[in-house]
Structure formats: C-alpha cells, structure tokens
A and B are shown apart, each in its own frame.
Chain A
Amino acid sequence: MTLNLCVLTPNRIVWDSEVKEIILSTNSGQIGVLPNHAPIATAVDIGILRIRLLKDQWLTMALMGGFARINNNEITVLVNDAEKGSDIDPQEAQQTLEIAEANLNKAEGKRQTIEANLALRRARTRVEAINVIS
C-alpha cells in the first residue's frame, strides 16, 4: 500500500511518484501521512517536506508555502516554490541565510520587518533541507 505524491509549483511538476510516507509542515504543525489517511485539506507553511521512498530512504524538500490535499491515497501539494534538498547548493544557501539575518537586523518599519522575517524563514528552510536524516 503506497501513496501517490504530487508536488506542483506554478512553473513545473516537482514530484510525481509513489512514496511510502510523508511528513508535512502545515500551518498548525507537522503531520505524518501514511496510507489510508483520512481525506484532508490543509494549508502548508514554509517548511520541510520529508519523503520516505519505497526503498525506505528519506528525501527532504523545501516548500515555500501553499496548500495540500489528501484524498484516496493521493496527496496533491500546491506551493509557490519547491526545491529538492539535493538540488540546493549548500554554500549559496548558507550565504543567503546570513544575508537574510543581516537584513532582519537592519529592517526598519513594520513592512520591512515582515518581509525580512519571511526571507529569513525561506532561507532557513533551504538550509535545513540540505541536512538529510539518515
């Protein structure tokens, strides 16, 4: 018994194949999805999607917020942007994180602070996606 996972961004299909299990960051915390999960619709936060493959390997993917639907063992995740952990350049991601932290310290005004916070969360997610759980 397996799940069909489909991760879609406005530009492309990031993932479309069978998996054993996923762990998804939603607006109200992380949820694990195993086969025969109840039908559910949820908002997806900026965070990590962990995928357990058929061979029991784990993959990580950075998601940048969106929506997920689970129905009849089919998971559809719609996000603004998504990147596989293996596709992310560690040095570039680390630099982006440091830049985002510096920008947050410099931010003035409410709007800039909100934007800097979002950028920081995105950068941190990408850094976390690189570290694979063995």
Chain B
Amino acid sequence: MSCSNLTMLVSSKPSLSDPSNLSFRSVLNPFQLPTQNPASCTPSRSSSTQIQCGLRELRTRIESVKNTQKITEAMKLVAAAKVRRAQEAVVNGRPFSETLVEVLYNINEQLQTEDVDIPLTKVRPVKKVALVVITGDRGLCGGFNNAIIKKAEARIRELKELGLQFTVISVGKKGNSYFIRRPYIPVDKFLEGGTLPTAKEAQAIADDVFSLFVSEEVDKVELLYTKFVSLVKSDPVIHTLLPLSPKGEICDINGVCVDAAEDEFFRLTTKEGKLTVERDVVRTKTIDFSPILQFEQDPVQILDALLPLYLNSQVLRALQESLASELAARMSAMSNATDNAIELKKNLSIVYNRERQAKITGEILEIVAGANALQ
C-alpha cells in the first residue's frame, strides 16, 4: 500500500512541473520529500506536523492560482471589448479614406497631361531611410511587441548591409524603452501612444515625417506596424509611407502595390456565445468626376493640400490596426493563461487530495497500532 502511494506521488510530479514555471514549485518540494519517507517508514507525530504544513501550502497555492485565473479571465474579456471598439474606430474612419482615395485618383487623372512637381511624391536616390516603428504601451500580449521590434531590427540590418543610413521614430512605450537601452540605434523622436489613436496623434507623427522628408534629411520613410488580419493572426508589415504614389496607392518595401481601393474589413460578431470574425471585401466605387471640374487654385496647391491629408490618414490607419492587433494578441494571451490556470488548479487539487488521503491513512494506521498494543 505504501509502495503504491509512492509511485502515484512520483507520477504526479511531471504533470505538476510541466504547466508551472513559477518558482513557488521549489518551495513545495522540501515539504513533499520529507513527508514521504517518514510516512512510509514509521508513522509518527512529527510526520503529521510536516504533512499539515504541506497541505496548508498546497491550499494556499490553489487559492493563488484561482485568483490568477480570475484576473486573466477579466483581462481577456476587457481586451475583447476593446477589440470591438477599435474595430468601430476603423469603420468610422472608412468614409474619409474611401473619399480621399477616390478624389486623389480622379484629380490625378485630370492632371495626367500636366507636369506636376509635388514634394511628397518626389522619388530621390535613397541615402537615408526613416523607420516609424509602432509598438504597444503595455505587455501581457504574447509576442506582439517582440514581433514588431524583431522586424525593425531585421530591417535595420538590411539597411546596414545596403550601406544606407537610417533613423528611427519610435511610437509606444515598449518600443521607446527598447530603443532607449540601445544607444547605437539613432532615434529621431520618441512618441507616446494613447489608449485610442486620434487624428492629433497621427498628425504629430505625420508632421514629423513630413518635415523630415521635405527638408531632405531623409529620402524615404517606411512605416512598421502590425497589420490586423484576424483575431488569431497579426502580421508585422513594412509599408513605404513616403514618397507617396501620386495615384494614392500604398506600396510595400518591394514596390508591390497594396491597393487601398480594395479593402477587407473584419466584422466581429457573436455566434452562439463565441466571438467570430467575418470578412467582407469592400470595393470602393469610383465615381467619374465632371469633365468641367474647375480648380480653385493651381493643381499643385490642391495636391499639396490633399497629400498631407492622405499621409495623416495612412498613419492613423496604421495606429488603429496596430492597436486592434495588440488587443487581439492580449485576448489570446489571457485566454491561454486562463486555460493554463484551470489545468494547474486541477493538478494541484489532485495532489492536495492525495496528500490528504495519505494523512488520513496514516492516522488510521496509528489508531490500529494503538488498539493492537492494548491487546
């Protein structure tokens, strides 16, 4: 009987150690090991005291895991609510983006015959690149922040190999703290992210980028952010922000155009109590401009007014997608943490019950031994 107890205790250890990385496990071990030997060899009162300590520690541990589970579950639900709100912000911004793309496309058609020189669309030989890196403000969201920082590091290595200079504009506390600790990476500006991206924040970034590019301090501006693909998948991407394509297209670093006129957006719905993501492809209709359209000012002036709007819109969209991705990652991470806590609680309960059973068995043996002694 004592032999079977020992084997069960030994078998329970691997399952206990696997889900748990906490250092608290090492505190449990000294209590477990001494309790086995005295219990199997000679039942005595000192062994019952140690068993009692072990049981109390286990009970405390179970309570602690329960509390952690409540916290992670609450964080998961909060992140889910915020994802929905972030999605609404993206949807609210859509009419502006659609109209802007439409207007840019049509005006550009009107200006095809004219040779228009616009600073934001000027393509220069690239000697220096600015990287706008968008990270989150808080952790507990899986590999979200690490993924974008690794992407930035990889891009920096590529630029070094190409012999190009670079500078970084860091947005978000996680990125800021990373680059502050690395003085060898030149940083033009550190910017704080907010809880919800606003046009003013995007304007601050766009203004900084605008002045860098127009003053020819940099020849190209790239935007690194996490693109929201679905609730379970996010994709760190690099888009070329400046120089702008006159037709209002977004290009990635390889020159492949990501046409903004065709835009997938994701609708969060609740099916049978579970969150799902439905995809709709929205094709922006291009209405023909009137051929007798007059320009109040010189076309260059009009495009000068339009393109900064477009720049601002692109930056804001990147901020919004990054936030949605961060919240989705946090939702996933907290969901995993909750599942781990449940499993850990189950394992600890099993160990606790076994310890309790062993203690009761020991006490019964003492009683039986005492009765035998009386005879």
Contact = CB atoms under 8 A, between A and B. Distances in A.
A109 interface: no
B162 interface: no
Given A12-B93, A78-B96, A111-B211, A39 B297 contact: no
A67 B93 contact: no
Nearest to B98: A8
B296 A78 contact: no
Contact of B293 (A9, A12, A41, A80): A41
Interface of A: 6, 8-13, 26-28, 31, 38-44, 65-67, 69, 71-72, 76, 78-81, 111
A10 B296 contact: no
Given A26-B296, A76-B99, A39 B313 contact: no
Contact of B294 (A11, A13, A41, A111): A41
B135 interface: no
B103 A69 contact: yes
Given A41-B107, A72-B290, 20 more contacts: A8-B96, A10-B202, A11-B93, A11-B198, A11-B199, A12-B93, A13-B92, A26-B297, A27-B305, A38-B292, A39-B292, A41-B103, A41-B302, A43-B301, A66-B309, A71-B290, A80-B308, A80-B309, A81-B199, A81-B203
Nearest to A79: B309
B203 A80 contact: yes
B95 interface: yes
Interface in B88-136: 89, 92-93, 95-97, 99-100, 103, 107
B309 A39 contact: no
B306 interface: yes
25 contacts: A8-B95, A10-B97, A10-B313, A11-B89, A11-B96, A12-B93, A26-B296, A31-B296, A39-B293, A41-B103, A41-B293, A41-B302, A43-B296, A43-B306, A65-B305, A66-B305, A66-B309, A67-B306, A71-B290, A76-B103, A78-B309, A80-B203, A81-B200, A81-B203, A111-B211
Contacts of B99: 8, 76, 78
Nearest to A65: B305
A105 B104 CA distance: 38
Given A11-B92, A11-B93, A44 B305 contact: yes
B316 A10 contact: yes
Contacts of A79: 309
Contact of A67 (B198, B200, B292, B305): B305
Nearest to A76: B99
Contacts of B107: 41
Interface string B72-101: 000000000000000001001101110110
A113 B95 CA distance: 34
Contact of A10 (B211, B295, B312): B312
Contacts of B199: 9-11, 80-81
Ranked nearest first, the 6 interchain pairs of A and B with the lowest CB-CB distance are A43-B305, A42-B296, A39-B290, A8-B96, A39-B293, A10-B316
B289 interface: yes
